[in-house]
């Protein structure tokens, strides 16, 4: 982790502690409200799954949003037909996304490189168009799939009329939130976040086991030189297909969790920009690392939530102490990078990271750790030299 010599068990323990403390850590940043914390966990799962494919095998997919949307649609249909319990919904989401990934991966993995990326993008766009128009009886088109009062929900029995139900975990409402005060901060303990966080920890642990397994080593070998493996008689397609399916199942789980937090599924979750977003998350945090995708997802979702809220009036207030002409000029420039233009800031940060930190933010943290380590060793050597010199002076006296 960040180039340290921590064991996997220690890394997992620290990860669990940080995930559990997110409501407290996010409160001073104004990010401690349930919806944003849920996005941290859910899109962390999405990015971890994508990293298993891209970070290990080097196959860049631009179609993972299709599995995200498929997971959401599956979960909402389970809510409508069977029960509002989230467990059956998530199981169906993972299974359907896995089958869908198996079909797409079987076809797309016949090519590699840019051709593979284009194929996955084409499948994702076809899925989006089908959900938006052709499959309207199943997806409800541009309106999106929603709950209705007359849904059968055959396992729920008697229902209160006139009120749409909420997703539950054996009666525990996903939207339930308990407000407490810790260290002078208002902390919101949301059931939905901790439920999603539990799956984030599970997803992280599974990814860790994959990274350390012979299967994971084979995927790394595919990324290093797939042709050489083929020349030695190794059939790499089963390995890459398995990685693609596992990655798709992660995306389906993330889509199902989105529906569990807000029981609505729309075609916009399958659009190509959603696929590009998870690529940015993985590369920004550090492709091929364990923690990188989670960090990248958190940074992007935090930036989206915060930067998009700044309008020109707020920005102008930052420069009120300057002369009016200069304040207006700075406001005009800065306002282009916040609000509706917050993607410009994200793009600028992404360019800087790719240029100076090809390994993502994890590489940046590793470099800082190595610098501090070398500086500490240098101070120790200087202190040792001073002690030796002092000893020689005392002996001479």
Residue 11 lies in a domain: no
pTM for the structure as a whole = 0.90
Q: What is the pLDDT of residues 37-85, one digit of tens each?
A: 999 999 999 999 999 999 999 999 999 999 999 999 999 999 999 999 9
For residue 145, is it within any domain? Answer: yes
Q: Collect all residues with Cβ–Cβ distance below 8 Å to 263 and sequence separation of at least 6.
A: 75, 76, 79, 146, 147, 166, 167
Q: How far apart are CA 46 and CA 171, in angstroms?
A: 27
Residue 377 lies in a domain: no
* Residues 267, 141 contacting (CB under 8 angstroms): yes
C-alpha to C-alpha distance for 290 and 201, rounded to whole angstroms: 12
Evaluate whether residue 277 is within a structural domain: yes
In a domain, 168, yes or no: yes
Q: Is residue 207 part of a domain?
A: yes
Count of domains observed in the chain? 1
Low-confidence ranges of the chain (pLDDT < 70): 1-6, 157-162, 376-397
**68/214 Cα distance (integer angstroms):** 28
Nearest to 119 by CA among 53, 66, 63: 63
Query: Residue 116 falls within a domain, yes or no?
Result: yes
Question: Distance between CA 57 and CA 288 in Å, rounded?
Answer: 9
Cα–Cα distance measured from residue 209 to residue 20, given in angstroms and rounded to the nearest whole number = 21
Helix-helix angle 34-57:292-307, to 10 degrees: 140
Q: Which domain holds residue 30?
A: 19-291
Over the stretch 167-203, which tens digit does the pLDDT of each residue have?
A: 999 889 999 999 988 888 889 999 999 999 999 999 9
Residue 370 lies in a domain: no
């Amino acid at each position: 982790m960040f180039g340290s010599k921590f064991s996997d068990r220690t890394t997992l323990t620290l990860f669990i502690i940080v995930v559990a403390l997110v409501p407290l850590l996010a409160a001073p940043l104004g990010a401690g409200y349930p919806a944003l914390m849920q996005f941290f966990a859910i899109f962390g799962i999405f990015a971890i799954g994508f990293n298993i494919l891209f970070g290990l095998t080097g196959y860049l997919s631009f179609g993972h949003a299709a599995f995200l949307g498929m997971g959401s649609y599956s979960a909402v249909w389970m809510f409508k037909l069977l029960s509002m319990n989230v467990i059956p919904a998530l199981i169906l989401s993972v299974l359907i996304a896995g089958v869908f990934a198996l079909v797409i991966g079987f076809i797309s993995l016949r090519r590699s490189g840019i051709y593979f990326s284009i194929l996955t993008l084409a499948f994702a766009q076809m899925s989006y168009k089908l959900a938006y128009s052709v499959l309207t009886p199943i997806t409800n088109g541009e309106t999106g799939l929603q709950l209705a009062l007359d849904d059968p929900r055959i396992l729920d029995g008697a229902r209160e009329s006139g009120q749409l139900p909420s997703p539950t975990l054996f009666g525990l409402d996903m939207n339930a939130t308990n407000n407490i005060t810790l260290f002078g901060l208002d902390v919101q303990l949301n059931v939905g976040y901790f439920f999603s966080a539990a799956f984030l920890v599970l997803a992280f642990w599974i990814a860790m086991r994959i990274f350390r397994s012979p299967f994971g080593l084979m995927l790394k070998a595919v990324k290093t030189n797939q042709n050489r493996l083929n020349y030695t008689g190794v059939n790499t397609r089963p390995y890459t297909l398995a990685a693609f399916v596992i990655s798709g199942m992660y995306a389906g789980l993330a889509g199902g969790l989105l529906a569990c937090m807000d029981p609505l599924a729309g075609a916009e979750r399958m659009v190509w920009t959603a696929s590009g977003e998870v690529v940015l998350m993985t590369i920004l945090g550090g492709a091929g690392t364990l923690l990188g995708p989670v960090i990248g997802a958190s940074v992007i979702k935090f930036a989206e939530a915060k930067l998009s809220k700044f309008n020109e009036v707020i920005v102008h207030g930052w420069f009120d102490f300057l002369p009016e002409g200069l304040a207006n000029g700075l406001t005009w420039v800065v306002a282009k990078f916040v609000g509706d233009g917050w993607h410009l800031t994200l793009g600028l940060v992404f360019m800087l990271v790719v240029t100076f930190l090809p390994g993502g933010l994890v590489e940046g943290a590793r470099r800082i750790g190595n610098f501090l380590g070398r500086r500490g060793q240098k101070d120790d050597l200087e202190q040792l030299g001073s002690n030796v010199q002092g000893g020689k002076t005392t002996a001479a006296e």
